[in-house]
Amino acid sequence: MKRIVFFVVLTSLGLSSCSSDMEVSPGNRTTMEVDDVFDAGEVIQGEFVTAKFKVTNTGDYPLVIADVKVGCKCTLAEKPEEPIAPGKSGMIMAQVDTDNAQVGPLEKTISIVSNADPAVKPLKIKAIVKRK
């Protein structure tokens, strides 16, 4: 319960400091469209897989992406810092280091945490890792 209160307070503070013209309220739920899977195809072990996920706000309120959680330390992710207006799009970038990956199929998950419904949306990054 404390985590939820902390998240709401933190979101409220963060949103109140936004410099955009959009009216943002932490209680406003919206919807988004995003492809669930990024398939990088074949990569050589040691390469970085760079995944780009286009996120479109399909709802009536600004889409606020609070966090993008990664599943392991070999994956990094970046999110849009500003709210995404209704009808507009933004990009989530993720990068997977395959240096320590096993040869064969690779699947990593990142999760978008936002004011969309559902609040947590998992996305997959897939590749086939080939030997160096």
Domains and CATH numbers, the chain: 28-130 (2.60.40.10)
Return the bridge partners of 54, or none. Answer: 91
Per-residue pLDDT for the chain (132 aa), expressed as one digit of tens each?
Answer: 434 433 433 344 344 434 344 555 557 999 999 999 999 999 999 999 999 999 999 999 999 999 999 999 999 999 999 999 999 999 999 999 999 999 999 999 999 999 999 999 999 999 999 998
Give the pLDDT score at 132. 85
Q: Are 56 and 88 in contact (CB under 8 A)?
A: yes
Q: What's the pTM value of the predicted model, to 2 decimals?
A: 0.78
Helix, strand, coil percentages, rounded to 5, for the chain? 10, 50, 40
Whole-number pLDDT of residue 27: 73
H or E segment and range at residue 12: helix 2-16
